[in-house]
Amino acid sequence: MTNLDLSKPTSDAAPAGTPLLDVDDLRVEFRTRTGTVHAVNGVSYSLAAGETLAILGESGSGKSVSAQAIMGILETPPAVISGGGIWFEGRNVLEMSAEDQRKVRGPGISMIFQDALSSLNPVYSVGFQIGEMFRAHRGMSRKEARKRAVELMDRVRIPAAARRVDDYPHQFSGGMRQRVMIAMAIALDPRILIADEPTTALDVTVQAQVMDLLKDLQRETGMGLILITHDLGVVNEVADNVAVMYAGEIVERGTVDDVFTRPAHPYTEGLMGSVPQVEAKGGRLQPIAGQPPNLARIPSGCPFHPRCARRRLGAEAAPGRECSTDVPPLRLVVPGREAACHYSEEVLGVRAP
Amino acid sequence: MGRYIARRLLLTIPVLIGASFLIFALVYALPGDPIRALGGDRPLAPAVVAELRDEFNLDDPLPVQYVKYLGDLVQGDFGTDFRGREVIDTIEQRLPVTIRLTIVAIAIETVIGIIAGLLAGIRRNGFLDNLVLVSSTIVVAIPILVLAFVAQYVLGVKAGWFPIAGITEGWYSYLLPGLVLASGSLAYVARLTRTSVAENLRADYVRTARAKGLPNRTVITRHTLRNSLIPVVTFIGADIGTLMGGAIVTETVFNLPGIGRAVFDSVQAQEGAVVVGIVTLMVFFFIFFNLVVDVLYAVLDPRIRYD
């Protein structure tokens, strides 16, 4: 299932067997009157058909912004895509005309959002909003579109779909609303579905149902799934690969099993330590000290160094690996694993090369 | 919904009774004697005065006068003025003028106000946005009396584009007064629409609409404008009620024989029956259009239900 070729340098051109999506050195800034906020600073990843890539990070780590850049729905201004490329099926989305970009949204790449209540228009029935996909992209009549909407609502397992198609979003429960969002997003069989915190606003039992539904749909259609979340449990259950973001950069990535069992970056290590675990029952949780950085003033060197328990400053540091001055590149640490830390080998407990 | 409307309509009855009594009492409290004023410089014969006072129940105490008036009113009799003219005839003659003026004014403020507000809201801080801001501030700051005279002089007298006064040229005569009358509300509608559109453009569901790959036009009209119009419709609906009450200044400057002028003249002549009849009707219009707004509200926003 995992087609992500992690041994290649991240900034290279598309690898063999062109991936569905290739994000290369993406940079997004928000230019405001009070200064420039660097939300995404050189993010690269690729996604293959049928793959589930989790992008993990705190609020403000740039995970949603990079997804919105891929969708082409960033508000510009204030946002500016200041560098990099986004290749979808071999075409650079950023160089497409606005109209071509629009045609990718829906049948090519689709997206669901965290809060389904505010993400659905309150004044139109759910059937109408799902049907809009067919009307806008396939030129279907309103009546046909409504019929397709019922089929889709059935497909995402909304009970009594035919009866509820003309109901409004506020008449549905949270889980059902998210299913409506999913029905809308998969209406045109997209190649890629980006799910931006799809379960954060739902209660736990419903979360599992929604994730199961997403996985089932992925199995049926073979679409690539980008799962943006800060929920480690969800990542562990459904994702193949994970990219951990911090301060607008990917600081570590690899397969979920590897990253979760043996983190190679102190930030990932910190995340794992702050999650309650059954084996460690009774022990204290170890929060990461400090606050995520202000993206208008990202710390010099490694952006994580002010909070890092393993940082080496001044004379302690190896030459060229001073944490507050030398920027650690995202590099291959062990096969299948990249991390942006000068001392990843130490974190992993392997011998430095 | 039907029951809600019925209940609201029933509620207008006590409001109308209260309002009419209040107006009745105010006219009663006016100083001076309307009957003596009828004769102008020549005093009327005492016998005539006494007969008129008796005919119009002017010597009865206020509550008695009011109950007698109300008794006639529920039978559909609005009474007569002191010259024997039926009040209902005055209303029939004057009301169409005010209705036409209101229609023109509302059409202008709705169409121009919403379009200007929409464009300004889409391009915030652009040229049109600033133009709307500056012009609406100016319009709101200038008293309508000044605006009316300037418009009449510049566009009517100097340029000759519009009739200067009167209603002899049909709907066209209402265009300039309608524009003057609408100006204040027009500015308000534009600003309200602008704010509402600017706010809705940031809404999550607009982001969803873009993520769905809908054409920009659909995103704006279907997913932004429709939701943005909810507060605007409220304002315009209430404004219809206000404008139906007549626009005394505009009707006077442009010499339109509307209902506002009629009230103004009858207050001066202390024509109690005319004032009470017309003002009560105005109150009814106001209540009625507020009800229309509330019903429209539920049509525009399915989350609102009155059951």
The DSSP string of B93-116 is: HHHHHHHHHHHHHHHHHHHHHHHH
| Chain A residues within 8 A of B302 when measuring between CB atoms | 122-123, 125, 168, 170
* Contact partners, residue A87, CB within 8 Å, separation at least 6: A14, A21, A22, A23, A24, A93
The closest of B298, B204, B188, B198 to B242, measured between CA atoms, is: B188
Tell me what pLDDT residue A6 has: 45
Which of B15, B42, B37 is CA-nearest to residue B272? B37
C-alpha closest to that of B106 among B195, B165, B185: B185
Residues of A in contact with B211 (CB under 8 A): 71, 73, 105, 110-111, 113
**Residue B7 counted as domain residue:** no
- At A168, the pLDDT band (50, 70, 90 cuts) reads very high
CB nearest to A118's CB, from B204, B213, B215: B204
| Chain B residues 184-203 with CB within 8 Å of chain A | 202-203
Give the pLDDT confidence of B239-263 residue by residue, as tens digits: 888 888 768 888 888 888 888 888 8
pLDDT tens, B82-136? 777 888 888 888 888 889 999 999 999 999 999 999 999 988 888 888 988 898 8
Residue B63 lies in a domain: no
Cα(A26)–Cα(A41) distance, integer angstroms: 7
Question: SS3 for B123?
Answer: coil
* Domain with B154 in it: 93-261
Minimum distance, in Å, between the CA of residue A124 and any CA atom of chain B: 8
CA distance B96 to B101: 9
Q: Which residues of A49-61 are buried (b: 16+ CB within 10 A; e: fewer)?
A: bbbbbbbbbbebb
Domain CATH code at residue B99: 1.10.3720.10
Chain-centre distance for alpha carbon A266: 21
Looking at the structure of chain B, the number of domains it has is 1
Q: Does any domain span residue B184?
A: yes
Per residue in B156-215, pLDDT (tens digit) is 888 878 888 777 777 888 888 888 888 888 999 999 999 999 999 989 999 999 999 999
Token pair belonging to A190: 């997209």
Give CA separation, A196 vs A112, A170, A217, B208, B302, in Å.
6, 21, 17, 12, 27
Does B193 reside within a domain?
yes
How far is the C-alpha of B250 from the C-alpha of B259, rounded, in Å? 11
pTM of the prediction? 0.80
Those residues whose C-beta lies under 8 Å from the C-beta of residue B137, and which sit 6 or more positions away, are B187
Q: Is residue B97 part of a domain?
A: yes
Using one digit for the tens of pLDDT, what is the confidence trace for A40-90? 888 998 898 889 999 998 888 888 899 999 998 888 778 888 888 898 988
Angstrom CA distances, B74 to A31, A251, A337, B13, stand at 68, 82, 89, 11
The residue among A65, A15, A55, A49 whose CA lies nearest residue A295 is A65
Contact B208 A122 (CB under 8 A): no
Tens of pLDDT along B228-244?
998 898 899 888 888 88
DSSP annotation of B203 reads S
Q: Please report, for residues A194, B98, B251, B276, the alpha-carbon distance to residue B243 in angstroms, rounded to integers and kept in the order given.
A: 52, 8, 11, 18
Sort out which chain B residues have CB atoms less than 8 A from A110's CB and list them: 211-212
Contact B211 A132 (CB under 8 A): no
B272 belongs to a structural domain: no
Query: Is B304 a domain residue?
Result: no
Flag whether residue B220 sits within 8 Å of chain A, measured between CB atoms: no
Q: Does B109 fall in a domain?
A: yes
